[in-house]
Chains A and B, each alone.
Chain A
Amino acid sequence: MSLDRKLDAWIEAGLVDKATADSIRAHESASERPTALWAISGLGLLALVLGILLVISANWDRIADWVKLSTHMALLCGAAAAAFRTARAGRPWASETALFLTAMLVLGGIALHAQVYQLTGPAWHAFLLWLALAGPALLIGGQTRLTGTLFAAMALAGPVGMAVDTVDDGGLWRLAQGAAMAAPGALIALSLAHRQLAPGFRLALRETGIVVTLGAASIAHFAWASTITPAQAMDNAIRLLPPAAIAILTAGLAQRSTEWPRALLLPLIVAPVLATTLALAIPHPDHMVSRLVGVTIFIGLWASVAQGAATSGWNALFAVAVAAIGLRIFIIYIELFGSLAATGGGLILGGALVVGLTWLWNRIVRARKSVAMETAE
């Protein structure tokens, strides 16, 4: 139901008077975030940028190298100048668009240089260079979710690519891989530490950090379904040092922040790193008991997230947490898939648990509603 229809219903029910409803309407329209508008413009910019990359990929040999390089540098200078001028003039839409284009032209430039000078190597080299060259401009000039999301993607692409590409390398590479694993947590820490960053930009960093942290911990729990040898566990323990350090730092920042709900401090910052550590840094065989431990930890992680989200009023996160638990319970059926009896048993167990979960969800929602009603009275 739209806000206008809700307010009309509330006036009719005598919950609010017309003056209050008008004040609410005025407040909400002033603070309204044009999410759809940003999403569509982001899609347009993405198409534009992919077009630039494909045109560069086509590598027209009828155009001299110096013409291609000069044209690119002229476009980059133009976009950077536009970003600076529009930011000074206080035109956020134009400034954000120009900043986004500048960042993508930097990536296009790295690709063009690779082509002209036949520079080759792993893609993560290019992504890290992109972060080093274009990241500071986004961090300083970015104001909305558009540039915030681009910065977060940039901060994750290079490190994740590096970690995947060097996974078989030992020594100090393990700490580098750990630094990559700490990148999502670092995004959350950055959003909490740098209060001078624009609110929309910080929100994008925080949301991306939370999504990737929880996603990574959820994927890591599947390690319980495979063998982790003592040597692998030791390697993983070293890799997990940077994420643990960042989690402690982030927890300290969140503790002092008024924006971070206390109930979500442990579930979103500490619990994912703890769950990942248990899955990767403890030697275990591929056995049914290990799998059950993994399922229990997974459900424990998401249950703590659901509980924290319910307490803090983060409704979307609460729904995601319940869905994650439901999905994992359903996967138990696939894990038990085998004979007719085992498949039937798995289906009965999975179905019963999902039905129980929805009943629990309904109870929590009803309890929250009644608490809200009592508070209102």
Chain B
Amino acid sequence: MKRWLLLAALLLPIVGLGAGIWRNQAALGQAEVWRIPITGYDPRDPLRGRFIVFAYDWDVQGNPAACEQKQGCQLCLEQAGQTVRAVVSSVGASCQSPVNLSLSQIDMRQPFRESEALTFTSRIFVSEASAPILEDQLRQGPMVVIAARTPEGRLVNRRVEPAG
């Protein structure tokens, strides 16, 4: 009995992590790709390794007050020529490319002045070798993040690169 229990317990992490890979791969397989301008910098963390913290440099429109309501808000992404428009609306409002802030682990920061727009920040893990290069590029010129929007509304940052 204990032998079978031990076998099941040892299989649990293999199945759990395997299911995680399958779920993420399936979501990314159906994702739509977005190129979004960003501004950011490169901190580091002994546990997480190297990552870039950045703010999406998109055109924020819509109703920011929806984010202060209990049900929260979502972003509807729209391509407007060379720029990306992020329309703030209540969660569940109809739109073609909704982004769930909680699922995407996107932090929203209120502006200091009323005339300024909301800021949305995120992060991307990068390799130890490429982190200094990317930090240099972030200082020098415009950068974009290549992000995959999965069907459930999670925006997954895949890589950052110069805008050109």
Contact = CB atoms under 8 A, between A and B. Distances in A.
A in complex with B: yes
Interface of A: 53, 56-62, 69, 73, 76-77, 80, 83-84, 87-88, 102, 106, 109-111, 113-121, 123, 129, 132-134, 136-137, 139-141
Contact of A61 (B10, B28, B130): B130
Contacts of B113: none
28 contacts: A53-B47, A59-B49, A59-B125, A59-B126, A59-B128, A61-B126, A73-B14, A77-B14, A80-B11, A80-B13, A80-B14, A87-B6, A88-B3, A106-B17, A109-B17, A115-B125, A117-B24, A117-B156, A118-B124, A118-B125, A118-B158, A129-B16, A133-B16, A134-B13, A136-B9, A140-B2, A140-B9, A141-B6
Q: Which of A57, A119, A121, A134 has the most CB of B within 10 A?
A: A57
B13 A114 contact: no
Contacts of A77: 14
Contacts of B163: none
Given A80-B10, A141-B6, 12 more contacts: A57-B46, A57-B128, A76-B17, A80-B14, A83-B10, A109-B17, A111-B48, A115-B125, A117-B28, A118-B157, A119-B105, A137-B6
B10 A141 contact: yes
Interface of B: 2-3, 5-14, 16-18, 20-21, 24, 28, 46-50, 105, 122-130, 156-158
B15 to A, nearest CB: 9
Contact of A133 (B6, B7, B13): B13
Contacts of A120: 105, 122-123
A134 B14 CA distance: 10
A102 B10 contact: yes
B156 A102 contact: no
A59 B127 contact: yes
B10 A84 contact: yes
A132 to B, nearest CB: 8
A140 B9 CA distance: 8
B17 A58 contact: no
A185 to B, nearest CB: 24
Contacts of A76: 13-14, 17
B155 to A, nearest CB: 9
Contacts of A118: 124-125, 156-158
B17 A113 contact: yes
A61 B49 CA distance: 13
The 6 A-B residue pairs with the shortest CB-CB distance in the complex, in nearest-first order: A57-B49, A136-B9, A61-B127, A137-B9, A133-B13, A80-B10
Contacts of B128: 57-60
A137 B105 contact: no
A313 B69 CA distance: 61
Nearest to A53: B47
Nearest to B148: A118
A121 B13 CA distance: 20
Contacts of B7: 84
Contacts of A117: 24, 28, 156
Given A76-B17, A117-B24, A118-B125, A137 B156 contact: no
A52 B65 CA distance: 46
Contacts of A123: 47
Nearest to A63: B127
A27 B17 CA distance: 46
Contact of A114 (B5, B11, B125, B130): B125
Nearest to B7: A84
B14 A58 contact: no
A33 B48 CA distance: 37
Contact of A113 (B24, B28, B127): B24
A56 B127 CA distance: 10
Given A77-B14, A84-B10, A141-B9, A113 B20 contact: yes
Contacts of B13: 76, 80, 102, 106, 109, 133-134, 137
A73 B48 CA distance: 20
B14 to A, nearest CB: 6
